Amino acid sequence: MDTAKQTKKINWLYFQVVFAAVVWGGAYPFTKHLVAEISPLSIVTFRALIGTLLLLFLTRSGLRAADFRFSFLWKLLALSVLGISAQQYLQAYALKYTEASHAGWLIASTPILVAGLMAALGEKIGPFKIAAFLVGFTGTLLVVFSKAGAGAFSLPSTRGDLVFLVTCAAWAFYVILTKKWLTAWPQAKVTAVTMLVALATVLPAWFWTGGPAEFARLSSRGWLSLGYLSLLSSALAYLFWNNAVEGLGAVKSSYFIYLEPFSTLLCAYLFLGEKASPAAFAGGLLILAGVYLVGLNDKRRHLFKGASSNA
């Protein structure tokens, strides 16, 4: 391949990874608006439906019947719950009670949680990671308790932040288990399969609770939010991220996690009128500093999000 074509290819890969990070960051404000119109279950189901169909079509991930053998199906089910269905449901629920900008900062703490879990599983903890835990923990507290005045530690806002932190921990488990169970699978296939299994698990409950009827009351902004979450966040961003990881490598792609919180802040301001408090902003910067310290002494850098996002 000549130099011009190689440069063009690399630039296209950089565009894709930036696109994915920015889209995922913007997903939380759209989810916060949408959860006021329809249930979290309907959001998860529609995202999984559109995401699955588009990913299977665009990636041609080569699914086989043997991939769903009974002895392996429980692992796929666990991954789909941790990475898709339960996680997206809880994130939508949490956004009822907290600001989208908080979600953007808190999701950035995931690499620190991954590192902590790996340390609990026996990985050696160096000084950079110890510093990362301390800095990231301080930043998380600032974000969660950034409300001014006497109500700083009160519910329901704090409850939303704490529930969102649970989803970050769930994603950390998803990253580790994916690396352990599906090492031979391309990341595009991992994403498509877990989303397909998630869809199969939520569809019965969605129909049973009358979920399809909810879409009749969606506003134009609601449809815009649903289109953003399903077409861009659950399909195109996953596709672009997987392409970037394969073309640029997981290490280089992981650097772009830093764009997500700032994308959330901008989108929350433009779409919802949210303004981040100085304490939340300072806490978010501390979280990002902790993320940087986690990766500073870890050349593999797979800690940052596996090869896909949870937005």
What's the pLDDT band for 123 if we cut at 50, 70, 90? Answer: low
Q: Collapse the DSSP code of 84 into the 3-class scheme (helix H, G, I; strand E, B; otherwise coil) and give the result.
A: helix
Report which of residues 262 and 157 the model is more confident about.
Answer: 262
- 41: confidence class by pLDDT, cuts 50, 70, 90: very high
What DSSP state is assigned to residue 257?
G
Categorize the per-residue pLDDT at 203 as very low, low, confident or very high, splitting at 50, 70 and 90.
Answer: very high
The amino acid present at 31, given as its one-letter code, is T
Tell me what the pLDDT averaged over the chain comes to: 79
Question: What percent of the chain shows pLDDT beyond 90?
Answer: 20
Q: Please report, for the chain, the start and end positions of each structural domain, with discontinuous segments joined by +.
A: 3-296
What is the value of pTM for the model shown?
Answer: 0.80
Residue type, 301: R
Q: What is the pLDDT of residue 14?
A: 85
Q: How far is CA 167 from CA 85, 106, 119, in A?
A: 11, 10, 19
pLDDT of residue 144: 61
Name, of 88-92, 115-119, 237-241, 285-289, the range with top average pLDDT.
Answer: 88-92
Closest CA to 305 of 262, 250, 267: 250
Q: Please report the DSSP string for 252-269 in residue order.
A: HHHGGGGHHHHHHHHHII
Q: Strand runs (DSSP E) across the chain, as ranges?
A: none
Backbone angle region of 277, left / alpha / beta, with phi > 0 → left and psi within -120 to 50 → alpha:
beta
Res. 55: pLDDT tops 70? yes
CA–CA separation, 258 vs 268, rounded Å? 17
pLDDT at 35: 93
Q: Most confidently modeled of 119-133, 151-165, 184-198, 213-227? A: 213-227
What value does the mean pLDDT take over residues 276-287?
74
Name the one residue in this structure whose structure tokens are 């397909």.
196
Query: In this model, does residue 137 exceed pLDDT 90?
Result: no
Angstrom distance (rounded) from CA 15 to CA 306: 19
pLDDT in tens, 155-192: 455 778 888 888 888 887 887 787 777 777 777 777 88
Residue type, position 187, single letter: Q
Burial degree of 67 (CB within 10 A; 0-12, 13-18, 19+) = middle
